Amino acid sequence: MPAGQELKTLRNRRNITVREVEQASRRIAEVKGDKRFCISNGWLAQLENGVSEPSICKLFSLSVIYRANFLDLIRLYNVDIDDNEKYKPVANGRLAQRASHNGNGHLGSRTSHIIYGHLGLSDYTMYPMIQPNALLKIDTSQNQLDSIVWRNEYERPIYFIELRGGYACGWCELHGNQLLIIPHPSSPAGVRQFTYLKEAEILGRVIGYSTATS
């Protein structure tokens, strides 16, 4: 149901008329000393019909008048403060992150062992082999360090690692309970060390990547 209709339903459940909303909001605005908290009956009609969207001040007045949780009303407009941590890595393009699609706009199957990730814009761990902002194809069924003998850097397994504050990509070595993320020899990045499983966990092996930077 559209947000405006949800608000109208909430008002009707409270058995409050648009005129009563206006009068109540005027009293709130007077106490606040701020006319932005005032809601005219004409504007409320536009809001309920989906023509307008509320400001924070007007939404606050509605939450008081309807005796509704302010955060619940915000969620009607696709804003959820619980998503704050979820979107921090998305907003910071300099960090590596998991992707929800396969690069062609199609969502990956939930039952598939293949996932995708993006390197951050400043992630030079595997440079120049894998450039920053590369799209990675990851096989989650290969989430244990492989003991195979590799003959060159292209045969050496590359892993996608989940850290407690983000993600990383690189060659890996396990020394006791310490997981080392090894950079490419030509990379300016240094070796990083984490307590295995507590601070870092291998999500899977990188089985493909695109080095396009755009």
> Could you tell me the pTM of the whole model?
0.53
Q: Where are the alpha helices (DSSP H) in the chain?
A: 3-13, 18-32, 41-48, 56-65, 70-75, 84-91
Find the helix or strand (DSSP H, E) in which 161 lies: strand 159-163
DSSP character for 184? P
If you average pLDDT over every residue of the chain, what do you get?
86
Span 86-210: which CATH code?
2.10.109.10
Cβ atoms 120, 97 nearer than 8 A: yes
User: Phi and psi (nearest 5°) for 89?
Assistant: -65, -30
- Which amino acid, one-letter code, is at 23? Q
The arrangement of secondary structure in 3-79, i.e. its CATH architecture, is Orthogonal Bundle (1.10)
Summarised one tens digit per residue, pLDDT across range 3-48 is: 999 999 999 999 999 999 999 999 999 999 999 999 999 999 999 9
Summarised one tens digit per residue, pLDDT across range 40-92 is: 999 999 999 998 889 999 999 999 999 999 999 998 998 887 766 556 655 66
Find the helix or strand (DSSP H, E) in which 203 lies: strand 200-210
Beta bridge partners of 201: 162
Beta bridge partners of 150: none
Summarised one tens digit per residue, pLDDT across range 144-177 is: 987 778 889 989 999 999 998 789 999 999 999 9
Question: What are the structural domain ranges in the chain?
Answer: 3-79, 86-210
